[in-house]
Amino acid sequence: MSNAIISLILGGGAGTRLYPLTRRRSKPAVPLAGKYRLVDIPISNCLNADMNRIFVLTQYNSASLNKHIKNTYHFSHFSKAFVDILAAEQTPDNPTWYQGTADAVRQCLHHIDNFEFEYVLILSGDQLYQMDFRDMLQFHVESGSEITIATIPVSAKDASDFGILKTDPKGLITSFTEKPKQDVLGPWSSPVSEEMQAEGRIYLASMGIYLFSRQVLYDLLNGQETSTDFGKELIPYAINADYKVISYQYTGYWTDIGNICSFWEANIGLTDDIPKFNLFDESHTIYSRARMLPPAKISARLNKTVISDGCIILDSTLERCVVGIRNRIGRGSVITNCYIMGSDYYQTLEELERARAKGHPPMGIGDDCHINNAIIDKNCSIGNGVKINVGDRLPDGEFEKYTVKDGIVVIKKGMVLEDGFVI
């Protein structure tokens, strides 16, 4: 049955809430867990479900994302599997870029017309979860659904951050509301399991994962040409127009990487003894670019820290940190609650000499630094004795070399912090 499906992964918009990580890249291209990109998550979920005909729709800041996909997902010449990029394009018939999620899919329909498929799976490129899409597809077929929406039970506290769907006892979605305020949530509860009821998770939030029967998708997109977004326009229209729209409840770990705080929490959560997102589950392998890097070399004190390939960490102390590829950390530094993305390359001796001539420290983190609650983007050079976020909570602000959001300091990609720099 998996051969009857085409998967479309939406490359995302400007990603302003994740700035400055999206200053030079799209949201799905943001590095995750030290060695992956966010887009690797939906692609891996598809591949693990044997759904291996995948298009990634890209538009905004897409060069990094396009390069990653091109360098990562290669299949046998004897296989029909692919992960292809569908970049936004202006044509004589349509001079506009993608105007929203539904419009992006509408503009790409002519690219998928020549394939044989019965169902279309539409995914977001910036979420963290592990789902077996085969179960969702089987549910869609057996229930006779025309549109199946993956939903997750949430509490009243969280419901205001999502589109909330109300279902009848059979799972048929009867109505939809976008980010309702808590004082009007009363009638929006839906049937959920006893376990979810006990946790107070009685509202069904849309996960932005949609499974359409082919003809239904074409009819909706071509019939509602002014609708540009699935969640805000097309799905509510389909519910009101009496299409059979059914909820597929998912109760595993899922988070929408919507802002700096959620991104930081998702990465730091990987350092837990038993993380909610399991990188070590072989039935849910996370695929990414294969790099021929040396093993990490460590002579440091580590507590609940994830270390990626190619790192050199000297006599320092790290606690609850995620350390990305090719990181260099000097002696005597104390780093806590940080995601350090690492580097795209190793500096040569000539590059190191040029950096010294300019008074710049080498890439990585120097000696005797104290860094807390921070995200350090790729290719940063942090000198000796630098202090970041080790005093009182910092107010939000935008600066030349860094940004502060929700008490988290984000050092921008490629920045140089000289010896003794204090944030």
**Structural domain boundaries in the chain:** 2-271, 292-417
Burial of 241 (0-12, 13-18, 19+ CB in 10 A): exposed
Q: Which residues pair with 212 in a beta bridge?
A: 120, 147
Q: What is the pLDDT of residues 65-117, one digit of tens each?
A: 999 999 999 998 888 899 999 887 777 776 677 778 888 899 888 888 889 99
2-271 and 292-417 share one fold: no
For the question of whether the overall pTM of this predicted structure is more than 0.85, the answer is: yes
Compute how many other C-beta atoms are within 10 angstroms of the C-beta atom of residue 323: 27
The DSSP secondary structure of 41-94, one letter per residue, reads HHHHHHHHTT--EEEEEE-TT-HHHHHHHHHH----TT---EEEEEE----SS-
Strand order in the sheet with 381-382: 297-298, 312-313, 328-329, 364-365, 381-382, 416-417
Q: What is the pLDDT of residues 207-264, one digit of tens each?
A: 999 999 999 999 999 998 888 889 888 999 999 898 999 999 998 999 988 899 999 9
Count Cβ atoms below 10 Å from residue 410 Cβ, excluding itself. Answer: 22
Pick the CATH number of 2-271 from 3.10.20.30, 3.90.550.10, 3.30.428.10, 2.60.120.260: 3.90.550.10
Answer yes or no: are the C-beta atoms of 5 and 53 closer than 8 Å: yes
- Show pLDDT as tens, one digit a residue, over the chain (423 residues): 656 999 999 987 777 889 999 998 989 999 999 999 999 999 999 999 999 999 999 888 888 999 999 999 999 888 889 999 988 777 777 667 777 888 889 988 888 888 999 999 999 988 999 999 999 999 999 999 999 999 999 998 888 888 899 999 889 999 888 888 887 888 888 888 888 988 889 999 999 999 999 999 999 999 988 888 898 889 999 998 989 999 999 989 999 888 999 999 999 999 999 999 999 988 899 999 999 999 999 999 999 999 999 999 999 999 999 999 999 999 999 999 999 999 999 999 899 898 888 888 999 999 999 999 999 999 999 999 999 999 888 999 999 999 999 999 999 999 999 999 999
**Fold classification of 292-417 (topology level):** UDP N-Acetylglucosamine Acyltransferase; domain 1 (2.160.10)
Spatial CA neighbour of 147 closest among 225, 189, 209 = 209
| DSSP assignment letter at 420 | T
In the chain, helix, strand, coil percent, each to 5? 25, 30, 45
